[in-house]
Structure 1
C-alpha cells in the first residue's frame, strides 16, 4: 500500500467543513498535504471532485486564493446541484511544480494523485467510499494534470474539467525557472496529453476546458483544441473573457461543478 501513514486534523480547530490531511506516501518518499471541503458530512458515497493547483501553489490555494468553497456553496444554494466533496491535494512540492508526472528520477507524482489521494480521502471521510464517483479538474499546470491523468485513466474518472490549462509540457517554461529536462519521464510520450487521448479515445469520460482570451496560454489552448478535433473527440474549448488569474478561476469554477453535476445525474 502506497499510503504509509495519515495525520488528520481535528474539526474543532478548523473553519467549518474543512479537513486537513498529511499523507506519507511511498510513491514520493515524503509527506504531502490535502485540503478537503465537505459541506455534507452526513451524506454517503459523495462524488469526489479532485482539484489540482498550478505552479508555485499548494493544497490551500484553491480555497485560500480562489475561494472555491464559497463558489461551490453559492452554486449549491441556487438549487439543483449535486452534493460533492472537494479534494485539493498538493502537487508534491517538486521545484516550481511537479506537473503531476511520473518522473524519471523515480518520484511518481501521478500515482500520488490517482492512488494515494483518493485512498486517503476515502479512509478519512465517511461521506466518501469506493462507490463514490471520482472527477478531476485543475487550473494552469493543474489543468494539464487533469487533462493528462483523465485521459490516461479513463475508467477511474467520470469527468474531466480544465481551466486555463498548460496543454504542452514545454509551456511549463513560461512559469518556472527550472530546466525542462527535470520533467523527463521514462517514456517520451508520457507527458503528451494528445497521446493518451488518442490511445483511450473510445473510453474517455466527458471532457470540458476553457481559457481566457487574454491568457498567455490561450494560443496553446487553441492549438490543443484543433488536436482534439482532429482526433474526433467531443471536447470543445470555451473561450471566455479574462486572463491567467484567480479572479478568472473563482468566477468560472462553477462551470466545473455544473459539468460534473450533469454527468452525475446521468449515472444515478
Structure 2
C-alpha cells in the first residue's frame, strides 16, 4: 500500500475552546467528525459559520493548518460580533466527497442536516434561531457555493475562497478513482456551480468569493464570475495576490468573517 498525500497537524496547535463531536449519520452510513470553536458566553442564538475544508483534509485542518480561530479572535478584539465556528469532515469519501450526494451516501445532507443538528443539540449558545453561514476553501468553496445556493432557508450568507467550480476542476487535485466517483453524483445540477447558482438566483442569499492571482483555479473562478455578471447574479468577487495555499486562506478568511458580520448587523 502506498500513501500519496498526508495532511499532518503541528504540535500544540489546538485552542482550549475547541470541542470535537463524532456523530453517527444515516446520510453517511457511518460516523463523521466535527470540530467546533466556541468561546464561553452567556449569549443565546449565536450565529454559526460552517467552514468546509478542501481535498485530502478533514475537520481539523481549518484550525491546525489555517489557524482560523486566531483570525477570529483578532477580529473579535476589534469589535467583530460573536460567532460559533463549525468545521465538519467532508465524510471521508476517497480523496474528497465534494460535499455531493451519491446513491451510497449523501455528503450534502450530512452538512446541511446532521452537522447543524449536532451543533445545535450540543452547544448551548446555539439554537434553531441561530443564523447559519457557509464558507469553504477549494473543494470546500465548491461545497459552500452549491449548498448555499440550494438551501437558502438554511444559510444566510455564502463565502468561497479559491473555489473549485465544477467536477472537471477536480482533475488537478485528485486521482482517477476519486474523479470517477465524483462524476457519479446524483446532484440535480451535475455538480456545476454556475448552474446551481443560476437556477436558484431568485432566492440567493448574499454571496462573495475570492481567488489569488497565482492560483491554478483563477481562470475557472474568473469564468464563473463572468457568467454571474451575464446572468445578473449579485455577488462580490475579490482578487488578491497569492496562490492555492494555507497562507492565502489564513490571510483572507477575515474577509469572510467581516462579510457575515455585516449581514448580521443589517438584520
Same topology, TM > 0.5: yes
Partner of 1:3: none
Please say if 1:93 is aligned against 2:92: yes
**SS at structure 2 position matched to 1:21:** strand
Distance 1:106 1:92 in 2: 12
Instruction: State the shift of 1:188 in Å.
Output: 5.9
Partner of 2:151: 153
Partner of 1:143: 141
Q: Alpha carbons of 1:201 and 1:39: their partners in 2 closer, same or farther (altered >3 Å)?
A: same
Please say if 1:35 is aligned against 2:28: no
Q: Alpha carbons of 1:221 and 1:120: their partners in 2 closer, same or farther (altered >3 Å)?
A: same
Distance 2:146 2:168 in 1: 14
Instruction: State the shift of 1:196 in Å.
Output: 1.9
When the two structures are superposed, what TM-score results if normalisation uses the length of structure 1?
Answer: 0.91
Structure 1 unaligned spans of 5+: 1-13
Q: Deviations over 1:169-204 (max 9, x none)?
A: 111111011342211123562311122212211111
Partner of 1:122: 120
Distance 2:186 2:129 in 1: 33
Structure 2 unaligned spans of 5+: 1-13
**Contact conserved, 1:52 with 1:88, CA < 8 A, in 2?**
yes
Partner of 2:167: 169
Q: Deviations over 1:23-69 (max 9, x none)?
A: 00000111110000012432210001000000000000000000000
Partner of 1:206: 206
Q: Alpha carbons of 1:182 and 1:107: their partners in 2 closer, same or farther (altered >3 Å)?
A: same
**SS at structure 2 position matched to 1:113:** helix
Partner of 2:81: 82
**Contact conserved, 1:49 with 1:86, CA < 8 A, in 2?**
yes
Matched positions, count: 252
When the two structures are superposed, what TM-score results if normalisation uses the length of structure 2?
Answer: 0.92
Task: Tell me the C-alpha RMSD between the 2 structures.
Answer: 1.2
Distance 2:247 2:66 in 1: 7
Please say if 1:44 is aligned against 2:44: yes
Distance 1:26 1:188 in 2: 21
Q: Deviations over 1:189-228 (max 9, x none)?
A: 2311122212211111000000000000000000010111
Partner of 1:232: 232
**SS at structure 1 position matched to 2:33:** strand
